[in-house]
Amino acid sequence: MQDSYRHKGLRRRLIESIKAKGIKDSTVLEAMNKLPRHFFLDKAFEELAYEDKAFPIAANQTISQPFTVAFQSEQLRIKPKMSVMEIGTGSGYQASVLALMGARVYTIERQEDLYHFANNMFKKLNLPQIRTYFRDGYKGLPEFAPFDRIIVTAGAADLPKELIHQLKIGGLMIVPVGEGVQTMTLIKRTSEKEFARKELQEFRFVPFLKGTVGRK
Ligand code: SAH
């Protein structure tokens, strides 16, 4: 895998376009400027890696659109050393962006193929601050909870209740909620039993599904 001057130039242009679409957080923009997105895509899509589009990855899933990754990352207001649980590792791109922003990332994937792909990628990129789990994300990771932040990168039909209880008090969760089209929803745990909810703009994600799928 090579990150050429050409890739870097294309990436800088992509970051400029994301900025023009309203992303302001410089830690998000800097992390995305460092990370070679073409590493996470099939060779067939390498030429397109720096367009602001989602692309197919293994197991009929997608790597999120760069603007979506930037939007979710910005909403989380990450500070160095925060613990972040991600549901839906997919290619591993979003988890890598969070790691480059200084987070300690716990990421869960239900498709075994993707879990192995991402796990290898984190090794290649030397990102030991990301831990990868092959599990059903609906259950979260109770043994490591509570988390400072939670990010769901698959479209949930309803707000996943198990997960909000794995947030620290004062912690934030960003989750796309809805069937077909999802409303990006920001949850803040304000006390042991209370949660504030803010609805943001609409996005389209692959569905949040139950159970796990083993290697074929
Ligand atoms: N964050 C990813 C985007 C992945 S698309 C990236 O940066 O590339 C959403 C992912 O969520 C898919 O890989 C899908 O398999 C996964 N997913 C869906 N339901 C899940 C569940 N219950 N637990 C864990 N992962 C799940």
The 10s digit of each residue's pLDDT in 26-48 is 999 999 999 999 999 988 888 89
- Look at residue 125 and give its three-state secondary structure: coil
CATH T-level topology, domain 54-203: Rossmann fold (3.40.50)
* Buried-exposed string 174-188: b where 16+ CB fall within 10 A, e elsewhere: bbbbbeeebebbbbb
Q: Is 37 in the pocket of ligand 1 (CB under 6 A)?
A: no
Spatial neighbors of 29 by CB under 8 A, at least 6 apart, are 15, 18, 19, 23, 70
Read off the pLDDT of each residue in 65-70 and give the average, rounded to a whole number.
98
pLDDT digits (tens, 9 = 90+) for 101-151: 999 999 999 999 999 999 999 999 999 999 999 999 999 999 999 999 999
| Residue having the nearest C-alpha atom to atom 11 of ligand 1 | 88
Average pLDDT over residues 91-106: 98
Contact present, 51 and 14 (Cβ < 8 Å): yes
Q: What percentage of residues in the chain have a pLDDT greater than 90?
A: 95
User: How close is the Cα of 87 to the center of ligand 1, in Å?
Assistant: 6
Please state whether 94 falls in left (phi above 0), alpha (psi between -120 and 50) or beta: alpha
pLDDT band with cut points at 50, 70 and 90 for residue 170: very high
Ordered by start, the domain boundaries in the chain are: 54-203
Identify the pLDDT of residue 47.
82
Catalytic residue among 4, 17, 26, 64: 64
pLDDT of residue 23: 98
Tokens of 51: 């367009």
Mean pLDDT to the nearest integer, 69-85:
98
Confidence at 155, pLDDT banded by 50, 70, 90: very high
Q: What is the pLDDT of residue 45?
A: 87
Instruction: Tell whether ligand 1 has an atom less than 6 A from the beta carbon of residue 151.
Output: no
The residue assigned the tokens 């990771």 is 141
Cβ(90) – ligand 1 distance below 6 Å? yes
SS3 of 199, please? strand
* CB neighbourhood size of 62 (10 A): 17
pLDDT band for position 192 (cuts 50, 70, 90): very high
Do 181 and 187 meet the contact criterion of CB atoms below 8 Å apart?
no
The DSSP letter of residue 157 is S
User: Rounded to the nearest whole angstrom, what is the distance from the C-alpha of residue 8 to the centroid of ligand 1?
Assistant: 27
17 is catalytic: no
Q: Look up residue 64 and give its DSSP letter.
A: P
73 Cβ closer than 6 Å to some ligand 1 atom: no
**Residue 178 and residue 158: Cα distance in Å, rounded?**
6
Averaged pLDDT of the chain: 96
Q: pTM for this structure?
A: 0.98
